[in-house]
């Protein structure tokens, strides 16, 4: 077995490096920059039951060491994905995972049901943590009961790997993680963006049309690491860590904190080749330290 291979439920990864939803399109947009077969998986952009136009502009803003976004899950809906996008990406030599979002539990279930028969989709990621949607989205992810409800409903119709994406905008992330684990989640991914805002002092108005948006980038990494470590010590299912990863050293930190795999998000905008660089860096680290499997590093933080 290759020293980089990882299993997340039934999902087999050739290495622990994946790209985060909303930052990598559908993968094909990056195929001119990297060999997609070099990475463990691609989380495609958020998919909803119906077409979404997203939020009004401006919906992105630069901040020190990060960015704010309020795109609002713009996509053409799951039917368009199934008929137009899936045929173009189904033969990628890597895992293609669909990020599923909704405004109601019924939306999540209906959207998931349309993906069940797609043989080349081995997993979905339930997005119950998006701070840029006026209804649903993060509302499900900030309460243990509602997070459990949506996970339970989707689990009934989805028998492949189920990953639930958690919000950092909560008092105790471990409470939410344990709730979705109890309802059949195979893994949790975290963190989604932190709720933030920016102000134009000349106009005396918020920069974003939605006033608040999701903060990502290197600035969120310490918060993400803390939450991954807390969650790893609270649940028995694998944790997928993300939040400000911009180099292989960051990825190793997340793995030591308890991540079985990682997702790279915002840094894809800065360096489209970052994911393969992180794969190479992790392998060199394992070789240099005579570590036979990446799994030996998961949660190996000494305290």
265 marked ligand binding residue? yes
Query: Which among 270, 268, 238 has a CA at the least distance from the CA of 254?
Result: 238
pTM for the full model? 0.95
The answer to whether 22 is annotated as binding is no
Is 1 within the bounds of a domain? Answer: no
**Per the domain annotation, does 207 fall within a domain?**
no
Domain assignment of residue 226, yes or no: yes
pLDDT per residue as tens digits for the range 87-101: 999 999 999 999 999
Got the DSSP string for 48-71? -SS-B--PPSP-EEEETTEEEE--
- Note whether 262 and 254 are within 8 A (CB): yes
Q: Hey, which residues are catalytic here? A: 130
φ, ψ for residue 127 (rounded to 5)?
-90, 90
Distance CA 147, CA 213 (A): 21
For residue 136, what pLDDT is reported? Answer: 45
Q: With respect to residue 187, please indicate whether it lies within any of the assigned structural domains.
A: yes
Determine contact, residues 13/38, Cβ cutoff 8 Å: no
CATH number (domain holding residue 37):
3.20.20.70
| 77 marked among binding-site residues | no
| Contact call for residues 212 and 197 (beta carbons, < 8 A) | yes
Residue 217 among known ligand-binding residues: yes
Name every residue whose Cβ is closer than 8 Å to that of residue 172 and which is 6 or more positions away in sequence.
none
In a domain, 204, yes or no: no
Answer for the pair 257, 225: CB distance below 8 angstroms, yes or no. Answer: yes
List % helix, strand, coil for the chain (3-state, nearest 5): 35, 20, 45
Residue 182: closest CA among 234, 230, 217, 135: 234
Q: Give the total number of structural domains in the chain.
A: 1
What is the domain extent for residue 169? Answer: 6-54+71-195+215-297
pLDDT for 132 equals 43
- Cα–Cα distance for residue pair 131/136, rounded to 1 Å: 9
Q: What's the rounded Cα separation, in Å, for the pair 20 and 7?
A: 18
Q: Do the domain assignments include residue 206?
A: no
Facing residues of 68 across strands? 61, 215
Q: Could you give the CA distance from residue 166 to residue 255 in angstroms, rounded to a whole number?
A: 17
Note the pLDDT of residue 143. 86
Q: Is residue 210 part of a domain?
A: no
**Whole-angstrom distance, CA of residue 42 vs CA of residue 34:** 12
Model confidence pLDDT, tens digit, residues 124-143: 999 986 544 444 445 677 88
The verdict on residue 302 lying in a domain is no
- Is 65 labeled as ligand-binding? no
**Mean pLDDT in order along the chain per 10 residues (303 residues):** 91 98 94 96 94 84 91 88 97 97 91 97 88 50 88 97 94 96 98 94 96 94 98 98 98 98 97 98 97 97 93
Q: What is the pLDDT of residue 138?
A: 53
Number of H helices, E strands in the chain: 10, 16
């Amino acid at each position: 077995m290759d020293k980089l291979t990882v299993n997340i439920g039934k999902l087999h990864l050739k290495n622990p490096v994946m790209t985060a939803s909303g930052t990598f399109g559908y993968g094909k947009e990056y195929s001119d920059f990297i060999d997609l077969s070099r990475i463990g998986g691609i989380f495609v952009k958020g998919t909803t039951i119906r077409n979404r136009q997203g939020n009004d502009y401006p919906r992105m803003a630069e901040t020190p060491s990060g960015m704010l976004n309020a795109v609002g899950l713009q996509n053409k809906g799951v039917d368009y994905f199934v008929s137009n996008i899936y045929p173009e990406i189904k033969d990628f030599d890597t895992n293609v995972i669909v990020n599923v979002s909704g405004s109601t539990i019924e939306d999540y279930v209906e959207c998931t049901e349309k993906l069940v028969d797609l043989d080349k989709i081995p997993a979905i990621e339930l997005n119950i943590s998006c701070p840029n949607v006026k209804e649903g989205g993060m509302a499900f992810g900030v309460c243990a009961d509602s997070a459990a409800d949506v996970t339970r409903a989707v689990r009934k119709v989805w028998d492949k790997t189920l990953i639930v994406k958690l919000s950092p905008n909560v008092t105790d992330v471990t409470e939410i993680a344990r709730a979705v684990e109890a309802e059949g989640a195979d893994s949790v991914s975290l963190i989604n963006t932190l709720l933030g805002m920016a102000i134009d002092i000349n106009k005396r108005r918020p920069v974003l049309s939605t006033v608040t948006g999701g903060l990502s980038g290197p600035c969120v990494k310490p918060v993400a690491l803390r939450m991954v470590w807390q969650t790893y010590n609270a649940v028995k299912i694998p944790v997928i860590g993300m939040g400000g990863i911009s180099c292989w050293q960051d990825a190793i930190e997340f793995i030591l904190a308890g991540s079985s795999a990682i997702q790279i998000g915002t840094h894809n905008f800065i360096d489209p080749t970052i994911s393969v660089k992180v794969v190479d860096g992790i392998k060199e680290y394992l070789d240099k330290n005579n570590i036979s499997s990446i799994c030996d590093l998961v949660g190996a933080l000494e305290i």
